[in-house]
A and B are shown apart, each in its own frame.
Chain A
Amino acid sequence: MPIDWFPLWLSLEVACTATVLSLVAGLALAWLFVNKRFPGRDMLDALITLPLALPPTVLGYYLLVVLSRSTGLGVIFPLLFTAKAAVLAAMLHSLPLLVKSARASLENIDRGYEQAARSLGADEWRVFWRISLPLARRPIAAAAALAFARSLGDFGTTLMIAGDIPGRTQTASVAIFDAVNSGNTTLARVLVLAVSVLTAAVVYLANWLESRRRPS
């Protein structure tokens, strides 16, 4: 019986999209936390971290309610049981990782470099883009690699809001669960092996990026 590689490709697509989106949003949020004081800052911080602490099914249930057709949000963004919902589920788990890590990395930069850049006439965007981000790039890239690995393996929330529609929303993790349930051990083993190799490679990359010394 031929192996259906669709779940693996979908998982890769979902993980890539979620990582890129989380990276952009995570950097913006991290910059905000490091540089600005605003009302509700701590609340926003807690809200972003919450998906890490909540059980995936609980998070999935909230999203099911919020994005259902009976709510305005569900009508404007009809995401439920599409591949986009899988991206959303993956993002909710990768975003906190990226925000936390990017924030710590940006806070670790010697403020003198940023102040020097400002004294040389640079605006805040230029300071971030040319100084802060390049100096923090390695730990942030390592966090992105870990976020990618985390996105690749999401199961509970994905199952709740994207469902298990073969050929449309069935990611690798969901497909493995399905294969085990239906006794298709060959498919389960192949997918398990593929996901394990991919994840191991990404974790190795993250560790390598983390261990490389930043020039000082």
Chain B
Amino acid sequence: MIQVRISKAFPSFLLEVEFEAGPGVTVLFGPSGAGKTLTLDSIAGMMQPDSGRILLNDRILYDSGAHVSLPARARRCGYVFQNYALFPHMTLWENLAFAAPDLARLERHRKIGELLERFGLAALAGRLPMELSGGQKQRGSIARALMTEPEILLLDEPARGLDLHLKQDLYSVIGELRKSLKIPVLLVTHGVEEVFALGDHVLLYEPGRMIHRATPLELLRNPGSEAVAKLLGDFNLFDAEVLALDPGRQTSRIRLLGEEMQAPYFPGCFLGDKIRVCARPEELRVQNRPGANRVRADILSRLDRPQSLRLNFGDGLLVDAPRDTLLEGPLWVELPAEALRRLAG
């Protein structure tokens, strides 16, 4: 278990973060420059916060109050850097051996062999990093980090620069680690794909702070705030006005895109309140006749995807429709009541 509460002031930026993470993959997700990597650096001892406390399995790594700051070498954090940081003048084998100088020779050989085997790198042990592909370097870097038997694994943008095939490879490696290692894995990314492919939990970052914690599924079902919805990308965001509220039936009536529509009950709202609601593009439907919760709209542009059509109706209205959808004649977009979620902020 890792417990982090830190703050650090930079000339144009204040980083303030507080979270706990147990075994499993916790994804630190947010835009570039939000402070995700700085959080990893603080945990690993590469950067000293101004104040706060970091505990790893009840061991104090940093405590500003007690003036404790363990050096990076004593923290037992396996850090996989964005550019892998495999030492260029050492072979893959030597890179791994560097991480365990105190082990007896035979034990070290056994352990290196075992890890290289596990990551499918046994045949490449004698190669220099410059002779390895991106995916091989990355697996080598993870294997090297595991040589020290770390109490936490920190992965900084592991999927950056990898093609689709290598990403799948990485996902299976991390999936295997999740099963076999009973330690927290913190993974930094600004790609939504990794959040859903790898994360057991997600910590959402805005520049300088963590704004939300959820499981990927919770996040998808209800992003909670406009900032989160924007970070996740593919959400339709609308302004709406509350026209009626029915707590008994757990429904409400709202005006959205100029039409009166049915929506779920929004606790805490009053009649006349202006609110923001969101809906995922795949939850909206394209219809050929008017009806309840439908707005008249014309297609501005379309994008053919392998399994769906991304239709843009303008004013930020996006719909992912099945490929066989009939798109002739006048069209209406249906916003089902259950797809409309209120956003805070």
Whether B72 contacts A135 by the Cβ 8 Å rule is no
Chain B's nearest CB lies how many Å from the CB of A140?
Answer: 14
List A contacts of B79 (CB < 8 A): 115-116, 119
* Per-residue interface assignment for chain A, residues 111 to 128, with 1 indicating a CB less than 8 Å from any chain B CB and 0 otherwise: 011011111111100100
Chain B, 74-102, CB within 8 A of any chain A CB: 74-75, 77-79, 81, 83, 85, 87-89, 98-99, 101
Asked if A183 is an interface residue, CB under 8 A from chain B, the answer is no
Shortest CB-to-CB span from A112 to chain B, Å, is 4
Task: Give B128's nearest chain A residue, CB to CB.
Answer: A215
B130 touches A121 (CB 8 A): no
Q: Which residue of chain B has its CB nearest to the CB of A135?
A: B89
Which residues of chain B come closer than 8 Å to A116, judged between CB atoms? Answer: 79, 81, 85, 87
A120-B46 contact in complex given A115-B81, A130-B98, C-beta closer than 8 Å: no
Which residue of A117, A120, A122 is within 8 Å of B147 (Cβ)? A120
Cα A71 to Cα B130 with chains together (Å): 57
B179 at the interface (CB under 8 A from A): no
CB neighbours of B75 from chain A (8 A):
119
Question: Which positions 82-123 of chain A face chain B at CB distance < 8 Å?
Answer: 110, 112-113, 115-123
Does chain B have a CB within 8 A of A192?
A: no
CA distance A140 to B79 in the complex (A): 30
Q: Is the CB of B148 within 8 A of A121?
A: yes
User: Which residues of the other chain, B, contact A122 by a CB distance below 8 angstroms?
Assistant: 73, 98, 101
Q: Are A120 and B130 in contact (CB under 8 A)?
A: no
Which B residues from 97 to 146 make CB contacts under 8 A with A? Answer: 98-99, 101, 128-130, 144-145
Number of interface residues of A (CB under 8 A): 20
**A110→B81 CA distance, assembly (Å):** 12
- Asked if A181 is an interface residue, CB under 8 A from chain B, the answer is no
> Is there contact, CB below 8 Å, between A123 and B81?
no
CA distance A214 to B130 in the complex (A): 11
B85 near A112 with CB under 8 A, answer yes
Q: Mark A122-160, 1 if CB is under 8 A from B, else 0.
A: 110010001100110000000000000000000000000
Q: Chain B's nearest CB lies how many Å from the CB of A141?
A: 14
CB-CB contacts below 8 Å: B30-88 with A: 44-46, 71-75, 77-79, 81, 83, 85, 87-88
Residues of B within 8 A of A126 (CB): 101
Per the bound structure, the CA–CA distance linking A134 and B99 in Å amounts to: 17
Partner of A117, one of B83, B87, B130: B87
Q: Are A119 and B89 in contact, with the CB atoms below 8 A?
A: no
Complex Cα–Cα for A72 and B88 (A): 50
A115–B147 touching, CB < 8 Å: no
Question: In the bound complex, how far is the Cα of B75 from the Cα of A215, in angstroms?
Answer: 30
Pairwise interchain contact B99-A120, C-beta atoms closer than 8 A: yes
Bound-state CA distance A70–B44 (Å) is 56
Q: Which of A112, A120, A123, A135 has the most CB of B within 10 A?
A: A120
> From residue B101, how far is it (CB to closest CB) to chain A in Å?
8
Task: Flag whether A216 is at the interface (Cβ < 8 A).
Answer: yes
Closest-by-CB residue of A relative to B41 is A115
Query: Known contacts A120-B144, A215-B130; is A115 also within 8 Å of B88 by CB?
Result: no
Task: Please tell me which one of the listed residues A110, A119, A215, A216 contacts residue B72 in the complex, with CB atoms under 8 A apart.
Answer: A119
Residues of A within 8 A of B85 (CB): 110, 112-113, 115-116
Known pairs A112-B85, A121-B99 / 13 extra A-B pairs, C-beta < 8 Å:
A110-B83, A115-B46, A115-B79, A116-B79, A118-B46, A119-B75, A120-B98, A120-B144, A121-B73, A121-B101, A134-B89, A215-B128, A216-B88
Report 12 cross-chain contacts, Cβ distance below 8 Å, ordered by A residue.
A110-B83, A116-B85, A117-B87, A119-B79, A120-B73, A120-B98, A120-B99, A120-B145, A123-B73, A134-B89, A215-B129, A216-B88
Closest 10 CB pairs of A and B: A116-B85, A118-B72, A120-B99, A119-B79, A112-B85, A215-B88, A134-B89, A121-B73, A115-B46, A118-B73
